[in-house]
Amino acid sequence: MTVDLDKFVKPGKDHYIALGFEGSANKLGVGVIKHNVGTLSESNPAIVLSNVRDTYITPPGEGFLPRDTARHHRNWAVRVTKKALHDAGIKGSEIDVICFTQGPGMGAPLQSVVIMARTLAQLWNIPMVGVNHCVGHIEMGREITGAQNPVVLYVSGGNTQVIAYLRQRYRIFGETLDIAIGNCLDRFARTLRIPNDPAPGYNIEQMAKKGKHLVSLPYTVKGMDLSMSGILGYIDGIAKDMFGKKPKQRLDEETGEPITAEDLCFSLQEHLFSMLVEITERALAHVNANQVLIVGGVGSNERLQEMMAAMVKDRKNGQIYATDERFCIDNGIMIAHTGLLSYRMGITNELWDTVCTQRFRTDEVFVKWRED
Amino acid sequence: MIDLVPTAIYKYKEETVELIPGEGPHSTDGSTQQISEVVTNAGGIDRDKPSEHNDTSLGHLRARLTTLHDEINIFLTSRMKGGNSGDSDDVERRVLDGDDDDNESDEV
């Protein structure tokens, strides 16, 4: 069955424009996207008109609290939106639909951003569409990379899932049983008091590049799922021994050289990413696929991409797809793009149905815009 | 310049409370909407302060709304504190903190 994306096109119009708001964690993103009528393809791609982001950054050693993050989003929403509209060169009257992250995410920041979306929707009399944040990542990744039907590894500060598409749902094949991978990395960054600017995970990645010695850590793949809280507890313990009040030097078992903070970052990444590669490979085998798409903020980690590529290349016609930080890290454009796909299928949310929810699983979304 | 004054009415059972921003002065930098102390104590710089209001009707409305927001926060917080002392009608605490006993969703 071929999906007709233009059943609801306004008479006389040859394109659609969507404004998207993202604010489920510490990034406030506003983006404007344009789709020309017709099926999206290499010759008719989605056009990014603007993609503006502002990140709430806390001091080293501190995470981001919901109320302060919400405050950041509230106080920057108007400025970021104005810039997004200015960069796109459009007016409110040209927008077909306003899209917002409906969940999953942190309650207070989600709430701040949906208020901005509701206000503009009522001011300009424009319909709204609520978007699942995870599906937003997947659809933007597919659009940017051109991956047709990949197994998706979704890795971020709040989510860790291996996903495959079947019969208009993104099915979760495996996921974390406790904390997300980005949360694991961020919390270790706090232990080492690594700066949160531009992002703790990015700074860990840079330190890991200088690591030489692999410290043995637990490896906790459980079937298709994985667990990371125990690994974090274990490496936190090592770090506290090494850098706590009574610092204790730790030596590499093979060379006898001292273990450094860089070695710990390197070891943590190697273990966690190996676990991700293992469950992704198993998902590929399950669905007999050969494409992997990595999305989410941790997906911009070059070492993860490298390790995944090594696995994928061993498979027949294996292909790996990833995007850069503009689209990997939370952004408004992915929400605009996915919301616009919904809108083109005639899906909109009435005002009463724009309540955000912290829990909103990827497989709850009926993917009406993709073929069965 | 037209004076635009926002108000809020709280109703629960027999109780009705009207909150008004009062005479002022008003600003967009609300007392209950400051950055957490834990952040500033850790050396964080507040770069997320709201912009000041303009000297227009809508600008003054924005400032009064911030005052009203403060009043609502203070009022509801005091209600929550009352609820913790054993008041069975502590609806705010149950709404904001959740209550395992009555299957409320976690929607916000």
Give me the mean pLDDT over the A36-57 stretch: 97
With beta carbons under 8 A apart, name residues in chain B contacting A110.
108
| A198: nearest Cα among A343, A57, A339 | A57
Give the per-residue pLDDT at A266. 98
Which DSSP state fits B103?
T
Rounded Cα–Cα distance for residues B55 and A129 (Å):
35
pLDDT in tens, A112-141: 999 999 999 999 999 999 999 999 999 999
Query: Are A210 and A262 spatial neighbours (Cβ–Cβ below 8 Å)?
Result: yes
Rounded Cα–Cα distance for residues A97 and A17 (Å):
7
ipTM for this prediction: 0.77
pTM, entire model: 0.91
A359/B contact by beta carbon, under 8 A = yes
B49/A contact by beta carbon, under 8 A = yes
- Looking at every residue in chain A, the average pLDDT score rounds to 96
Integer-rounded Cα radius of gyration of chain A: 21
Which residues in chain B land under pLDDT 50? 102-108
Give the per-residue pLDDT at B95. 65
Task: State whether A245 and A287 are in the same domain.
Answer: yes
Q: Between the CA of residue A11 and those of A15, A92, A353, what are the distances in Å?
A: 11, 19, 27
**Cβ within 8 Å, pair B48-A59:** no
Domain membership of residue A189 (yes or no) is yes
Give the per-residue pLDDT at A132. 98
Q: Is A133 annotated as a binding residue?
A: yes
Q: Tell me the two tokens of residue B101.
A: 């006993």
Give the per-residue pLDDT at B60. 96
Number of domains in chain A: 2
Least confident interval from A183-187, A222-226, A309-313, B96-100:
B96-100
Q: Tell me the two tokens of residue A197.
A: 């600017």
Give the per-residue pLDDT at B87. 53
| Secondary structure element (H or E) that encloses residue A303, with its range | helix A302-313
**Which residue in chain B is spatially nearest to A104 when comparing CA positions?**
B107
pLDDT in tens, A145-188: 999 899 999 999 999 999 999 999 999 999 999 999 999 999 99
Task: State whether A122 and A213 are in the same domain.
Answer: no
**Which residue in chain B is spatially nearest to A77 when comparing CA positions?**
B50
Give the per-residue pLDDT at A176. 98
CATH number, domain of A289, equals 3.30.420.40
Give me the mean pLDDT over the A361-372 stretch: 94
Q: Is A156 annotated as a binding residue?
A: yes
Task: Tell me, rounded to whole angstroms, the distance of Cα A143 from its chain centroid.
Answer: 14
Residue A268 pairs in a beta bridge with: none
Give the per-residue pLDDT at A19. 98
Rounded Cα–Cα distance for residues A303 and A305 (Å):
5
**Cβ within 8 Å, pair A357-B35:** no
Task: State whether A76 and A65 are in the same domain.
Answer: yes
Give the per-residue pLDDT at B93. 65
Domain membership of residue A101 (yes or no) is yes
Give the per-residue pLDDT at B24. 86
Rounded Cα–Cα distance for residues A240 and A297 (Å):
27
B86/A contact by beta carbon, under 8 A = no
Q: How many CB atoms lie under 10 A from the CB of residue A78?
A: 13
State the smallest CA–CA distance between residue A59 and chain B in angstroms.
5
| B39: nearest Cα among A216, A369, A307, A26 | A26
Any idea what the Cα angle at residue A355 is, between residues A351 and A358, rounded to 5°?
160
Rounded Cα–Cα distance for residues B64 and A131 (Å):
33
State the smallest CA–CA distance between residue B24 and chain A in angstroms.
22
State the smallest CA–CA distance between residue A44 and chain B in angstroms.
38
Residue A291 pairs in a beta bridge with: A319
Task: State whether A204 and A310 are in the same domain.
Answer: yes
Domain membership of residue A291 (yes or no) is yes
Domain membership of residue A191 (yes or no) is yes
Task: State whether A98 and A180 are in the same domain.
Answer: no
Q: How many CB atoms lie under 10 A from the CB of residue A94?
A: 15
Domain membership of residue A3 (yes or no) is no
Domain membership of residue A9 (yes or no) is no
Task: State whether A35 and A124 are in the same domain.
Answer: yes
Give the per-residue pLDDT at B104. 43
Tokens 């001292």: give the residue.
Answer: A258
| Residue to substitute from B45, B48, B95, B96, interface A, most A β-carbons within 10 A | B48
Task: State whether A183 and A265 are in the same domain.
Answer: yes
Give the per-residue pLDDT at A167. 94
Domain membership of residue A136 (yes or no) is yes
- Check residues A204 and B97 and name the one with the higher pLDDT: A204
pLDDT tier at A25, thresholds 50, 70, 90 = very high
Task: State whether A297 and A201 are in the same domain.
Answer: yes
Is the pLDDT at A1 greater than 70, yes or no?
Answer: no
Task: State whether A306 and A354 are in the same domain.
Answer: no
Q: Is A230 annotated as a binding residue?
A: no
Task: State whether A306 and A251 are in the same domain.
Answer: yes
State the smallest CA–CA distance between residue A56 and chain B in angstroms.
8
Query: Which domain range does residue A69 map to?
Result: 15-140+330-364
Give the per-residue pLDDT at B105. 44
A74/B contact by beta carbon, under 8 A = yes
| Secondary structure element (H or E) that encloses residue A54, with its range | strand A47-55
Task: State whether A304 and A158 are in the same domain.
Answer: yes
With beta carbons under 8 A apart, name residues in chain B contacting A61.
42
Rounded Cα–Cα distance for residues B21 and B32 (Å):
14
Give the per-residue pLDDT at B107. 45
Domain membership of residue A6 (yes or no) is no
Q: Tell me the two tokens of residue A305.
A: 């991409």
Give the per-residue pLDDT at B81. 77
pLDDT cut 70: percent of chain A above it: 100
pLDDT tier at A305, thresholds 50, 70, 90 = very high
Strands A319-322 and A291-295: parallel
| A217: nearest Cα among A208, A229, A200 | A229
Give me the mean pLDDT over the A231-238 stretch: 98
Task: State whether A187 and A174 are in the same domain.
Answer: yes
